[in-house]
A and B are shown apart, each in its own frame.
Chain A
Amino acid sequence: MARISLEHIRHAYSPRAKAAGDYALKEVHHEWEDGGAYALLGPSGCGKTTLLNIISGLLQPSDGRILFDGKDVTQLSTEERNIAQVFQFPVVYDTMTVFDNLAFPLRNRKVPEAEVEKRVNEILEMTDLAGMAKRRAQRLTADQKQKISLGRGLVRANVNAILFDEPLTVIDPHMKWVLRSQLKRLHRQSRFTMVYVTHDQTEALTFADKVVVMHDGQIVQIGTPAELFERPSHTFVGYFIGSPGMNFMPASVDGAMARVGDQTIALANAPALKGEGRIELGIRPEFIKLGRDGMPVTVNKVEDIGRQKIVRATFCGQPLSIVLAEDDDIPTDAKVSFDQHAIGIFSDSWRVENQSSGQGG
Chain B
Amino acid sequence: MEKTWNNKAWFLVLPVLVLVAFSAVIPLMTVVNYSVQDTFGNNQFFWAGTDWFVEILTSPRFWDALWRNLVFSAVILAIEVPLGILIALNMPKHGPGVPVCLVLMALPLLIPWNVVGTIWQVFGRVDIGLLGYFLNSLGISYNYTQNTAHAWATVIVMDVWHWTSLVVLLCYAGLVSIPDAYYQAARIDGASRWSVFRHIQLPKMKRVLLIAVLLRFMDSFMIYTEPFVVTGGGPGNSTTFLSIDLVKMAIGQFDLGPAAAMSIIYFLIILLMSWVFYTVMTQSDAEQS
> What residues of chain A have their CB less than 8 Å away from a CB belonging to chain B?
53, 56, 58, 77-79, 83-85, 87-89, 91, 93-96, 104-105, 108-109, 138-139, 149, 152-153
Contact = CB atoms under 8 A, between A and B. Distances in A.
Given A94-B203, A108-B189, A149-B185, 16 more contacts: A58-B184, A58-B188, A79-B190, A83-B188, A85-B185, A87-B185, A88-B181, A89-B179, A89-B181, A91-B181, A91-B185, A95-B202, A104-B191, A105-B189, A108-B195, A139-B289
Nearest to A163: B188
A16 to B, nearest CB: 14
Contacts of A138: 288-289
A4 to B, nearest CB: 16
A93 B199 contact: yes
Contact of B187 (A58, A139, A152): A58
Given A104-B189, A105-B190, A87 B181 contact: yes
B184 A95 contact: no
Contacts of B199: 93, 95-96
A105 B189 CA distance: 4
Nearest to A104: B189
Contacts of B190: 79, 105, 108-109
Nearest to B191: A108
Nearest to A138: B288
A88 B182 CA distance: 11
Contacts of A91: 181-182, 185
Interface in B112-149: none
A109 B189 CA distance: 9
B184 A87 contact: yes
Interface of B: 179, 181-182, 184-185, 187-192, 195, 198-200, 202-203, 288-289
Contacts of A95: 198-199, 202-203
A79 B185 contact: no
Contacts of A96: 199
A78 B187 contact: yes
Contact of B188 (A85, A89, A93): A85
Nearest to B188: A85
Contacts of B189: 104-105, 108, 152
Contacts of B288: 94, 138
B11 to A, nearest CB: 44
A57 to B, nearest CB: 8
Contacts of B185: 85, 87, 91, 149, 152
A105 B195 contact: no
Nearest to B185: A91
A61 to B, nearest CB: 16
Contacts of A152: 185, 189
B65 to A, nearest CB: 40
Contacts of B200: 93
B177 to A, nearest CB: 14
26 contacts: A53-B184, A58-B184, A58-B187, A79-B187, A79-B190, A83-B188, A84-B188, A85-B185, A87-B181, A87-B185, A88-B181, A89-B181, A91-B181, A91-B182, A91-B185, A93-B200, A94-B288, A95-B202, A95-B203, A96-B199, A105-B188, A108-B189, A108-B190, A108-B191, A138-B289, A149-B185
Contacts of A84: 188
Please name the 3 residue pairs, one residue from A and one from B, whose CB atoms are nearest each other, closest first: A91-B185, A108-B190, A105-B189
- Tell me which of B185, B190, B288 has the highest count of chain A C-beta atoms within 10 A of its own C-beta: B185
A91 B189 CA distance: 11
A152 B190 CA distance: 11
Contacts of A105: 188-190
Nearest to B179: A89
Contacts of B191: 104, 108
Nearest to A90: B181
A79 B202 CA distance: 23
A93 B178 CA distance: 12
Nearest to A77: B187
B286 to A, nearest CB: 11
Contacts of B187: 58, 77-79
A64 to B, nearest CB: 21
Contacts of B192: 108
Contacts of B181: 87-89, 91
